[in-house]
Every structure is written in structure tokens, then in C-alpha cells.
Amino acid sequence: MSTPSVTETTPAAMVWSDVYLTGYDPMDSIHQEFVELLGFLLKASQEQMPALMDALAKHTREHFASENAWMEETQFPPRQCHIDEHAAVMQSIDEVRALVAKKNYDHVPSLAQALADWFPGHADHLDSALAHWLCKRSLGGKPVVIRRNIALR
């Protein structure tokens, strides 16, 4: 993945970790790229925002298309709710990207933070359920997820 360089003055607020694993490798790979792009966007300078917003929009559109296709192809029962959530997130990204095209960067930090706040719950609830469904249909059981370096509650 080729991304613009990012300033190193702001600490990363979104970093890939095992906590985001679903146990379905194709989904986990897509999620890792999403988290990395979002991490870059969270600490981007204004000059970096247009390229990063383009990269995030392209990735997210493909990311959601893959998940939506998996849900449709396998007739995942709660797919419509999941697909609708994807559409709402994509609409927000597209709206902010349109503002960035007009050199209005004011909403990029709040979008990036909203995505950082949204993603963990989405991955933990909706995407993990989809991962379980996909693994059960293809392998006959739920995925086994081994998480390293996770703090105990």
C-alpha cells in the first residue's frame, strides 16, 4: 500500500491490533488496511488530507463492496442492516471528500475521529457476526481468534 508520508508530531490514535481480528482472513486484511489509512488521516496535515481522503474513499468503497458481496452471496440473514450502515458511512466520507475538493478541510478531523469511534464496535458486532457466518458456511464452525497483548478487563 502506498500512502503519503505523515507528520510524526501527533501520536497515532488508530493503530492495528489483534483486538480487531474477526477470524476471517480476507476481512481481517481489509480491516487492517482501513485502520492504517484511518491512522494516517487522524494525524494528517492539511496538505496530506486530499490524497488521504481519496485513498480512504477508494479503500472503503472496495472494502464495503467486498463485505456486501459476501453477505449477498451467502444470504447472511441480517445483511440489510449491515449494508445500510455501510451506505451511511460511505455517504459521510463522500460528503467530506466533496468539501475537501473545494479546499474545505474543516470536517476531515471530525470525520476521521467519528470513523475511529465507529469502527471498533462495527468490527466487534456486525463484522464478527459476518465472519462467524462465513467460516461456518465454508469450514463448518466458528473462527478461532487468538489475540496477543490484549489487556485483561
Count CB atoms within 10 A of the CB of residue 123.
Answer: 21
Ordered by start, the domain boundaries in the chain are 23-139
Report the predicted TM-score, pTM, of the whole model to 2 decimal places.
0.84
| pLDDT, tens digit only, all 153 positions of the chain | 444 443 333 334 689 988 899 999 999 999 999 999 999 999 999 999 999 999 999 999 999 999 999 999 999 999 999 999 999 999 999 999 999 999 999 999 999 999 999 999 999 999 999 999 999 887 766 766 666 665 554
Which of the four CATH numbers 3.40.800.10, 1.10.10.10, 3.40.640.10, 1.20.120.50 does domain 23-139 have?
A: 1.20.120.50
DSSP state, residue 2? -
Q: Distances from the Cα of 59 to the Cαs of 56, 62, 134, in angstroms? A: 5, 5, 22
